[in-house]
Amino acid sequence: MDRIKDPRNSIGVAIGAAFIIFGAWLLLRTSGIVPPFFFETLDRISGPLVLIVIGVVLVIVAQRAHAPAPGSRLYRSRTDKWLGGVFGGLGPYLGIDPVVLRLAAVVLAVVGQGWIVVAYIIGWAVIPEEPIGYTPPASAP
């Protein structure tokens, strides 16, 4: 398998990037290099900023993404999963790389948007796991 196209590499890069960003955030916050009022202000505006970023991402994805293929169903993935397979099934259904969904969820959780964890748990409980031997229908052009 080509090293660049190996999904384990993209997952590792996503996790590594998340750790670097979170570590840099903690370093700046606790070191005193950046004045505390900056972080207080950022804490107050983080909710609206997250909503703006989500809106921008949704607009970009909606312009690039395709509609789910006729007859396709949303399932949790049996093979592409970290926890419950929610993003592993939602990504292909929406035409988005599941790693992007996972990274977005981590960023939302880090900035204090706990509702993403609740949404994931609901998806885990509500979305059925794909049947054994299931192959999704081909995407419509």
How confident is the model over 102-124, as pLDDT tens digits?
Answer: 888 887 777 766 777 888 888 88
Instruction: Please state, rounded to an integer, the average pLDDT across all residues of the chain.
Output: 74
Q: What is the pTM of this model?
A: 0.52
Give alpha helix (H) positions in 2-127. 7-31, 36-64, 86-94, 98-110, 115-126
Helices 98-110 and 7-31, interaxial angle, to 10°? 20
DSSP state of 129: B
Tokens of residue 14, six digits: 């996503």
Q: How far apart are CA 53 and CA 56, in angstroms?
A: 5
